[in-house]
Amino acid sequence: QLHLVESGGGLVQPGGSLRLSCAASGFTLDDYAIGWFRQVPGKDREGVACISSSDKIKKYADSVQGRFILARDSAKNSVYLQMISLKPEDTAVYYCAADRIPAPDFCSHYWRYNYWGQGTQVTVSS
């Protein structure tokens, strides 16, 4: 079976940092586009950082540009989302997702992803 498991969420003060991890089992992440999405109650899921299967294209939401970095670790079959200078508005449940979705849809068409992790809560608050 194909599984994605996120970890690394938590409570952090404004200006702090967190690194989210997404580990895959049952398939090779390198063959898939990866998206990190976040969602708050009452709002649609938002793509914050995505990478194409070829790693040639990375896309970040304007709200996180310069603060979030997405990277793969092929040896660990994982992807990471390094988040710095966190703001209260970054508070959300963060999900990683994987599927064979081409650019430019891979960061906006979250409904096309078939493989999702369980989500990890990120809370930015003093």
- pLDDT tens digit at each of 126 positions of the chain: 889 999 999 999 999 999 999 999 999 998 999 999 999 999 999 999 999 988 888 999 999 999 999 999 999 999 999 999 999 999 999 999 999 988 788 888 899 999 999 999 999 999
State how beta strands 46-51 and 58-60 pair. antiparallel
Please state, in angstroms and rounded to a whole number, the distance separating the CA atoms of residues 92 and 75: 29
- Quote the pLDDT of residue 48: 97
- Quote the pLDDT of residue 8: 97
Between the alpha carbon of residue 72 and those of residues 29, 88, 89, 90, the distances in Å are: 9, 26, 25, 22
Please state, in angstroms and rounded to a whole number, the distance separating the CA atoms of residues 113 and 100: 8
In sequence order, which ranges of 2-83 are alpha helices (DSSP H)?
A: none
Cα dihedral value 85, 29, 24, 8, nearest 10: 0
- Quote the pLDDT of residue 6: 94
Please state, in angstroms and rounded to a whole number, the distance separating the CA atoms of residues 73 and 60: 19
